[in-house]
Chain A
């Protein structure tokens, strides 16, 4: 594996973006318009994986296992955590066979680190969210314990989904740190930290300040912010009620299981009714236990909704960045305007604006023309610098808006499709549940009628 010094400012040349996916089924990629032009540049791989041709082959990413580990944490205390095995395979074009190229173990905190890094370096991208840190919207059966095997399993799937989303994103997939995350087990943390991304992150306070004070944000972003608030609120509500509904449904099914036991005991004293009771009781047991699978499937549906719940936060992050940049721009423009004003006043001698210099002049006497000229010169330099900065900030801002909006459009398409599919699959789950119910009760009815 190449250990080229990570130079994150250098974006890799646009390489043909291959759809990344699993070999046994659908392909998935969220290809934006930009990738279309570059499609024909395929180069057959020569078998060796390098940074450059990593993306030329189809790759598969699997988070295939989860393992409990103990180790020492930053404060040198024993802790238990779960590690996840990430396997990367490259798929040969011709025969569809896959070859394992990399496999390493990562824990949740490393995923978090990766994501935080992506958030800093790609503020214009709606960065895919991680699965939840702690189990929320639980109904009584699921424990909120992070070590619970069901929770770990669902998290494993969520992490795999995260990696697939990043890998299928036309821009994020080319990131070096992401590549190293999949390929370089040791030292990766240090490598990320060396980028100094934490320092580049915008301070929370600054961002909050900007949100309140910005005067002219792009209307689309304001709307997007409202949309993401609504999305978050409605999905949370839905998930909460769904959890309650699941709880109730569980109750209905499980209580029927008691019939099974009592029928069986009763059948012991009945001569004619006995057989019918006994076999009906068995069907009641089947009915009661069928709810476990049904609710497990529903949990996966809930996870799909949760992903978009967390995506809402990612949307808001992009909006915040825009507000921050816009605020910065407005501040710079304001500053420039005031400096120009000062300059003008110095030149013409009229004092309209308050300045410390003006004050001290009044108190300690006029300044000499040389002093004044020096000041004007400084100001003129500052103004010139300021104008340059304003220009580049303006450009930056517009670039940002353009790129961000492109990714938002991509995201919207993806969201609509995914949610539609999730909702449909939910309806399909209902059908399946109904079919099972009809089956069990038809059997039970037969037993009852034979009593």
Chain B
């Protein structure tokens, strides 16, 4: 029964282009307009994807009892299912592969925008076919994120790249900007795909598979503007309250998030600054090398040495370029993503607090005997479930997020260190120096003059100032 009741809410969140599985009558309708068949259309956000195997569904369901916090309607969520909250990524069992590429510019009379090609390959049954190709624009991604946040207010949804870059961007459609955004969007979708819960979200599926018109009409469903506004007002009112009654573990979590956010923002700034300084260093070095070549034109005897130094500098330039690109590919995007994540986390905390606040306000109402105590008691019961679900979901996702964060940060910085080691190895002028030393010694004229002055072959012409200008042989 539970299963049946669950079945229809599932389908109401959207109409897949193809059906997923064949059990339910409701899911076959190919036409966008006929979604009205489901009574629970409005509120519902249960993300359950129907799998053939009931057992699997069951165990996956365990984490899926997130409620739309804006909905007054209580979906059923047996307590027994709350227990099994454990998020683990299973890379070997990955069955959904997504790539984002081919940015294309579209010009209409009203606006210009970029679309990205999304290619999905999957072996999952609920997808109609094994390969999909669609085009999406940034707005569509925003929509998807919004839907995911609605459906799972206390899960940590991956962040989207920013809408605009505040400083430094002249053109919205500058190539670097587009490429950076494309990579971030790719990451975004893959993170959703890797998330044990979010991967089965219906809107996600539609996003990946629906053609343009279907998507736009699907988007039109969902809570209307007015109800959304009402929800926001309530949310603000509740948010203050939620903070006060936060359980200990969430206080800790909040503290962590605050400090983490500070630090990751700083690291982002530092990393960007390093990139900038390296670029300026590279620009100066490019001018530095050729001067030595210019000089060698007027110095017969120094041609070899000067060209040697010039080629050293050239080597250094190439190494610097490589280091910069390594930085911008490995480190900067990761750090930046976590900056966005930290903002996301604060939003998640807020939403959790709001859910709690709802409960608290009803409890308060009951205590002060405002309103029908029977109704209130029933509502409180449901809200308590809701709060517990939300908390558990967050806790579990938090652990997962932290683990991922650790791995990502660790590998990003390890890569950066590796890049730097490689950089210094590349720019060492070893060969040139040894050649030059042997060349120098070989000059017969030099050796003759030295001998006539009573010097040995190794001694230097250069007057010795106290300890500063050392013979290169003794240089350490």
Chain A residues at the B interface, C-beta cutoff of 8 Å: 19, 21-22, 25-31, 33, 35-36, 39, 62-64, 157-158, 160-161, 164-165, 168, 227, 230-231, 234-235, 237-238, 241-242, 244-245, 248-249, 251-252, 255-256, 258-259, 262, 265-266, 268-269, 272-273, 276, 280, 300, 304, 413-414, 416-421, 423-435, 437-438, 441-442, 444-445, 448-449, 451
Contact = CB atoms under 8 A, between A and B. Distances in A.
Contacts of B410: 273, 276, 448-449, 451
Contact of A420 (B273, B298, B305, B455): B305
A256 B409 CA distance: 17
A168 B429 CA distance: 34
B142 interface: no
Contacts of A427: 308-309, 312, 429, 432-433, 436
A448 B415 CA distance: 9
A416 B281 contact: no
Contacts of B298: 227, 230-231, 234
B425 A434 contact: yes
B266 interface: yes
B34 interface: no
Contacts of B459: 26-28
Contacts of B299: 416, 419
Contacts of A438: 421, 424-425
A289 B465 CA distance: 26
Nearest to B414: A448
Contacts of A36: 452
Contact of A25 (B417, B449, B471): B471
B83 to A, nearest CB: 26
A31 B472 CA distance: 22
B87 interface: no
A160 B295 contact: no
Contacts of B421: 437-438, 441-442, 445
A21 B270 CA distance: 50
A26 B312 CA distance: 29
A308 to B, nearest CB: 11
A308 B448 CA distance: 24
Given A273-B406, A427-B309, A434-B424, A241 B291 contact: yes
B85 to A, nearest CB: 21
A35 B454 CA distance: 11
Interface stretch (B161-169, B282-290, B365-373): B282-290
B418 interface: yes
A256 B433 contact: no
Given A256-B274, A417-B460, A427-B432, 7 more contacts: A21-B463, A27-B453, A231-B298, A234-B295, A266-B260, A304-B469, A448-B414
B424 A437 contact: yes
B428 A248 contact: no
B466 interface: yes
Contacts of B445: 413
A27 B460 CA distance: 7
Given A256-B274, A430-B428, A441-B417, A28 B464 contact: yes
A300 B454 CA distance: 28
10 contacts: A29-B455, A33-B452, A234-B291, A234-B295, A252-B278, A413-B446, A423-B309, A427-B433, A434-B425, A435-B424
* 4 closest Cβ pairs, A-B complex: A445-B417, A164-B463, A248-B281, A437-B424
Contacts of B446: 413, 417
Contacts, number: 227
B288 A421 contact: no
A262 B266 contact: yes
B418 A431 contact: no
Nearest to B255: A269
B465 A30 contact: no
A35 B455 CA distance: 14
Contact of A431 (B267, B292, B428, B453): B428
Contacts of B436: 420, 423-424, 427
B469 to A, nearest CB: 6
A352 B423 CA distance: 82
A266 B260 CA distance: 7
Given A161-B463, A419-B302, A237 B427 contact: no
B420 to A, nearest CB: 4
Contacts of B425: 434, 438
Interface in B282-335: 284-285, 287-288, 291-292, 294-295, 298-299, 301-302, 305-306, 308-309, 312, 316
Contacts of A245: 281, 284-285, 288
Interface string B439-476: 01000011001001111000111111110111110011
B302 A423 contact: yes
A420 B302 contact: yes
A28 B284 contact: no
B462 A421 contact: yes
Nearest to B265: A262
Contacts of B437: 424
B4 interface: no
A166 to B, nearest CB: 10
Contact of A19 (B267, B295, B455, B472): B455
Nearest to A31: B453
Contacts of A272: 406
Given A416-B301, A424-B305, A430-B427, A242 B288 contact: yes
B417 A444 contact: yes
Given A423-B306, A445-B418, A418 B462 contact: yes
Given A255-B273, A269-B260, A431 B433 contact: yes
A241 B472 contact: no
Contacts of B461: 28, 30, 414, 417-418, 421
A23 to B, nearest CB: 10
Most chain B CB within a 10 A radius of its CB, from A28, A429, A442: A28
A235 B302 CA distance: 14
Interface string B396-421: 00000000001001100110011011
A37 B280 CA distance: 57
Contacts of A161: 463, 465, 469
A273 B409 CA distance: 10
Contacts of B234: none
